[in-house]
Amino acid sequence: MTITNEIREQVRQRANFACEFCGVTETDTGGELTIDHFRPITKGGDDGLGNLLYCCHRCNQYKLDYWSMQPDEPSLWNPRREPAAQHFLELDDGTLHPLTDEGAFTLNRLRLNRPPLVAYRVQKRQQVEEIRLLTRYREMVQLLEQLNTQLSVLTEEQRHLLEEQRELLKLLLSGRQ
């Protein structure tokens, strides 16, 4: 069996066009990524959608045809079965810290703390922070505009009051004469 274009497309879309192990996207790498058999064909895996992962070239290169055959051999994290947060903690400096044995093994095998990936995570964090700041800035500008509108309404009301007061004074003064 071979992987048809249709299946390949399904795997791509299901993964949001990003490597399911490390998160880099087609846009980041400037091209399509690879289709990986989570359980390699040579170790009894099949071409079913449940066994296919979208994977960047580098992760695929490090993963190769690893499959735990013995009970005492460590297993790789399966991104289709469990979320990354279950196995890794992303630290502020962009490195991943393993939370489980599977996480530790996968981190090591796929070199998920390779320097360009760490730099990539730091960049992502900065982008998120910039968007957050920009949103706050926009909210503040909106608030200032609202305040300005309210202020001009108040100024107008005050002007009216002053005019009325002046009219009243005029009346009072003319009444005395």
26-to-8, 19, 99 alpha-carbon distances in Å = 14, 8, 28
Stretch in the footprint of Zn ion (CB under 5 A) among 5-13, 55-63, 93-101, 135-143: 55-63
Greatest CA span in the chain, whole angstroms? Answer: 114
Question: With binding defined as CB under 5 A, does residue 22 bind Zn ion?
Answer: yes
- Using CB under 5 A, pick the residue from 19, 76, 84, 96 that binds Zn ion: 19
Site for Zn ion contains 15 (CB under 5 A)? no
Nearest to 120 by CA among 32, 62, 77, 56: 56
Q: Which is nearer to Zn ion, 56 or 107 (CB)?
A: 56
Q: Which residue is listed with tokens 């309210």? A: 150
Hey, how many other C-beta atoms are within 10 angstroms of the C-beta on 122? 14
Judged by CB under 5 A, which stretch of 21-29, 84-92, 118-126, 150-158 contacts Zn ion? 21-29
CB atoms within 10 A of CB 65: 11
Total site size for Zn ion, rule CB under 5 A: 5
CA angle (56, 62, 63) in 5-degree steps: 85
Residue 21 found at the interface with Zn ion (CB under 5 A)? yes
Nearer to Zn ion, 21 or 77 (CB): 21
- Verify binding: residue 59, Zn ion, rule CB under 5 A: yes
Which range touches Zn ion (CB under 5 A), out of 50-58, 81-89, 132-140, 167-175? 50-58
Q: Are 80 and 38 in contact (CB under 8 A)?
A: yes
Q: How far is the CB of 117 from Zn ion (least distance, A)?
A: 8
Q: How far is the CB of 56 from Zn ion (least distance, A)?
A: 3
Contact between 56 and Zn ion by CB under 5 A: the answer reads yes
